[in-house]
Amino acid sequence: MDHRILRQAQQLQERMVKVQAELGNETIEVTSGGEAVKVVIDGHQRVRSIEISKDAVDPEDVEMLEDLILSAMNEALDKSREMASKRLSAITGGMKIPGLM
């Protein structure tokens, strides 16, 4: 086997491990309902925090608050996946590798 190919694969793997570790430190902040709900999520799709404005808490309209939280969570997850995909595809040249974003 060509040692250059093996070395390139090893370098690719090292860069991917580094980027994946960095993604855990990258955060995305998303708000919904005019900042009534704020979600912070990292590049590993782990929720770091959820903040709910006191003004958003209406015992008579719990469904609205649920919808705001759901909307913010889904947007945060989408943006986190997009960020991870961009970072990893920059390394792989857009090549789809099973097991990665």
Q: Give 27's pLDDT tier (boundaries 50, 70, 90).
A: very high
Within the chain, how many helices (H) and strands (E) appear? 2, 3
CATH code linked to domain 3-92: 3.30.1310.10
Q: Which residues does residue 39 pair with via DSSP β-bridges, in sequence order?
A: 30, 50
Query: Given CA atoms 35, 41, 47, 49 in this order, what sign does their dihedral have?
Result: negative
- The per-residue pLDDT for range 28-40, each reduced to its tens digit, is 999 999 999 999 9
Q: Is the pTM of this model over 0.95?
A: no
**E strands along the chain, which residues?**
27-32, 37-42, 47-52
Domain ranges of the chain: 3-92
Residue-level pLDDT at 57: 93
